[in-house]
Chain A
Amino acid sequence: MQITPIQLTFMLAAVITLGSALMVVSARNILHAALWLVASLFGVAMLFALLQANFFAVVQVVVYIGAIAILVIFAVMLTRRVMQDSGPQVIRAWWLAAVLAAAVFAGLVVMLSSWRGFWNLPPTLANPDAPLVQLGLALVSPNAYVVPFEVSSVLLLAALIGAIYVAFQRK
C-alpha cells in the first residue's frame, strides 16, 4: 500500500495527540501535564488543518492554547505543592476504566465504519472559503442556530458578570 504524504501527516498528528494525552495523565509534575495538554490540543488543531477546516484549526489554537491552556497553567501555578505530590497514580479499578474505554472506542469504530466517508480520503474542496461563509450564516440564521448561539452568548455574558461581581470590592 502506498502511503500518501497526507496519511503520513495524519499519523504524525494522531501520534502527537494521543501520545501527549497519555503524558497528560501520566506526568508526575502537574505543570508538565499542563504543557503536554497544550501539545495534545495542538495535535487536534493539526487534524482540523488536515481536514481543510482552517478556521477550526486556528480557532482551536486561539481558544484552547491561547486562552484555556494559559488559564490552566495559571491555575496550576497558583496551587500549592506543584511538584510534591507523590501518591499512586492509578486507582485500584483501573482495569475497569480500561475496559470501558476500549469498549467505547470499539463501539465508535463499528459505528463509524458504516459511514461511507470512513474508507475514503477527504476530497479537496473547490472553494475553501465556502464552509466558513456557511458557518457564519448558519450562526445568525433563524432557520439554523441563532437561538443556541444567542443562548450560549448570554450564558457566557452572565458568567463574565458573575466573575466581576465575585471579584469586585465595594469601596
Chain B
Amino acid sequence: MTWLSDPITFITQWLQHLLAGWGLSPGLVQFLMDFIGAGALATGAMLFVIFLIWYERKIAGRFQDRLGPNRVGPWGLIQPIADMLKIFTKEYITPDGADKFVYNLAPILMVASVLLMWAVIPFAVTIYGVDLNVGALYVIAVGALGELAIIMAGWASNNKYALLGAFRVVAQLISYEVPMVLALLVPVLLSQSMGINTIVKAQQPWFIVTAPLAALVFFICSIAEVGRAPFDLIEAESEIVAGFNIEYSGLKFGMFFVGEFLHAFTSALIFAALFLGGWQGPGAVQYPILGFVYFAIKTGAVYFLTLTLRFSVPRYRIDQMMAINWKLLTPLSMAVLIVTAVIEKLLQSSPAAVTDLALFIANLVVFVITLELMRRYAGRQRRQENQKAAEPLVQQTGISA
C-alpha cells in the first residue's frame, strides 16, 4: 500500500527504476531525478497560485460582504484561469529610457526568490526538496534576492514613483529582517539545529507553546516581509500610485503578482513548519500522506489568519511601521531570545516538561511586561499630544503676529 500512503516516494522509486532500466549511469539518474523533482516542485507551486488567487478573492468577497468571483465555472473556480489567459494576451510595454536587461530580469528574480524557499520545506516525513542543515538561514538568504529584484525593478523602470516605491520597500524589508532573524533563532535554539527538517521533528510540543512570543514576532515580520496589509506601504495607491511595479504590464506584472501571492503562502508554510509542528500529527510517520494533510491544514489556518488581517486592518503610516519594528519588535525579540537561552541553559538537566512549562511562563511574563511598557509609552505620547494641543498656536508654530 505504499503508493497510497506515500505516493511521492512511490513515484520517485518507480521513475528511478525506469531510468536505471534504460541503462543510464547512477550519477546521471540522480541528476535527472533532482532536475525533475525541482521542476515538478516549482511548477506545482506556480500552478497552486491559480487556486490561491481564487481562494483569496473569494475570502476577500466574504469579508467585504459580497460574493466574490462566481460567474466562470462552479463557484467561480475557473475565474483565475480566465484572468491568466487575459494577462497572457496583454501587450508588454517597456518605458522609454528603461534599462531593458535589468527591467526584464527583475520579475523573474522575484518569483525565483520565492520558489527557492520551497526547496527546503518538508511537506511530509518523506517529501522534501533537500534536507539542508542551514535551512532556516537559507530561507532568509533567498528572501534577500526578492529585495534585490524589487530594487532592480524600481530602478530600471525609469519612473520616480517606481524608484520611491522601491526605496520604501527595501527600507521596510531590511528593517523587518532584523526581528525576523532574531525570532527565527528561538526555534533554532530550542531544536539545536538550523535544518527545517530537524526543527519540525524536534517540536514536542509545538514551538508555539514553548515560544509563543517568538512565533508572534515572526508572524508579524513575515506579513511585513510579504508587504501585505497592514504593511502594504509598498503599493500605497494613494501615495506612490502602485510602487515599484508601476511600469510593468502583461505577464511581467503577472510575475510580480504571482510572486506576492506565492510569498504570502510560503510565509504561512514556513510559519507552520517552524512553530506549528510542520507535518507532525497522529500517524504522520507511518503514513506520510497524513502528514501532508496535517501540514496543509495548519498552513491553511495560518494563511486564513493573514487574510483576516489583510482585509480588516488599515495600513500603517511609514513612521508607525518603523516604530513598530525598531521600538517594539526588535527589543522584544532580543529579550525573548535572551530569556529562552538562559532558561534552556539553566534547566538543561531537568525533564523536558519542566523546561517547556518554564519557557511558557517566562514568555507570559515577558508579554505582560511588554504590554505594561507599551501602555506607559502610549500614555506618555498621549499626554504630550494633549499638552501640545493645549498650548496657544503662536507657541506651537513660532510665528508671532
Name the segment of B45-53, B75-83, B147-155, B269-277 touching the other chain. B147-155
Q: Give every chain A residue within 8 A of B167 (Cβ-Cβ).
A: 74
Within 8 A of A (CB), among B101-150: 102, 132-134, 137-138, 140-145, 147-148
Given contacts A35-B152, A128-B133, whether A62 and B144 have CB atoms under 8 Å apart is yes
Q: Which of A58, A128, A129 is B141 in contact with, Cβ under 8 Å?
A: A58
Contact with B along A29-41 (1 / 0, CB 8 A): 1011001001000
Given contacts A61-B142, A65-B144, A129-B193, whether A31 and B133 have CB atoms under 8 Å apart is no
Given contacts A35-B152, A70-B174, A129-B193, whether A62 and B31 have CB atoms under 8 Å apart is no
Q: Which of B31, B102, B132, B148 is A65 in contact with, Cβ under 8 Å?
A: B148
- Whether the Cβ atoms of A54 and B132 lie closer than 8 Å is yes
Q: Which of A29, A55, A73 is B151 in contact with, Cβ under 8 Å?
A: A73
Chain B facing A: main interface SS: helix
Contact size range, B: 20 to 34
Within 8 A of B (CB), among A14-43: 29, 31-32, 35, 38
Q: List 28 A-B contacts (CB under 8 A).
A: A29-B99, A31-B102, A32-B99, A32-B102, A35-B102, A35-B152, A54-B138, A55-B133, A58-B141, A61-B141, A61-B144, A62-B137, A62-B144, A65-B144, A65-B145, A65-B148, A66-B140, A66-B143, A66-B177, A67-B174, A70-B144, A70-B151, A70-B174, A73-B148, A73-B151, A77-B163, A129-B193, A132-B194
- Residue A50 lies at the interface, judged by CB distance under 8 Å to chain B: no
- Residue B74 lies at the interface, judged by CB distance under 8 Å to chain A: no
Q: Give every chain B residue within 8 A of A38 (Cβ-Cβ).
A: 148
Q: 11 more A-B contacts (CB under 8 A) besides A65-B148, A70-B174?
A: A35-B152, A54-B133, A55-B133, A55-B194, A59-B137, A59-B141, A65-B145, A66-B177, A67-B144, A70-B144, A73-B155
- Residue A69 lies at the interface, judged by CB distance under 8 Å to chain B: yes
- Residue B27 lies at the interface, judged by CB distance under 8 Å to chain A: yes
A22 to B316, CA, bound (A): 44
Q: Which of A31, A58, A70, A129 is B147 in contact with, Cβ under 8 Å?
A: A70
Shortest distance between the CB of A58 and any CB in chain B (Å): 5
Q: Give every chain B residue within 8 A of A54 (Cβ-Cβ).
A: 132-134, 138
> Ordered nearest first, which 8 A-B pairs have the shortest CB separation?
A66-B144, A61-B141, A62-B141, A58-B137, A58-B141, A54-B134, A58-B134, A55-B134
- Whether the Cβ atoms of B137 and A55 lie closer than 8 Å is yes
A74 to B170, CA, bound (A): 10
Shortest distance between the CB of A113 and any CB in chain B (Å): 28
Q: Give every chain B residue within 8 A of A142 (Cβ-Cβ).
A: none
Shortest distance between the CB of B194 and any CB in chain A (Å): 8
Number of residues in A with C-beta < 8 Å to the partner? 23
Q: Which residue of B lies closest to A45 (CB)?
A: B141
Shortest distance between the CB of B103 and any CB in chain A (Å): 12
- Residue A5 lies at the interface, judged by CB distance under 8 Å to chain B: yes
Shortest distance between the CB of A78 and any CB in chain B (Å): 10
Shortest distance between the CB of B151 and any CB in chain A (Å): 6
A29 to B144, CA, bound (A): 23
Q: Which of A5, A55, A77, A132 is B155 in contact with, Cβ under 8 Å?
A: A77
- Whether the Cβ atoms of B133 and A66 lie closer than 8 Å is no
Within 8 A of A (CB), among B149-192: 151-152, 155, 163, 167, 170, 174, 177
Q: Give every chain A residue within 8 A of B194 (Cβ-Cβ).
A: 55, 132
Shortest distance between the CB of B119 and any CB in chain A (Å): 12
- Whether the Cβ atoms of A69 and B148 lie closer than 8 Å is yes
- Whether the Cβ atoms of B155 and A31 lie closer than 8 Å is yes
- Whether the Cβ atoms of B170 and A70 lie closer than 8 Å is yes
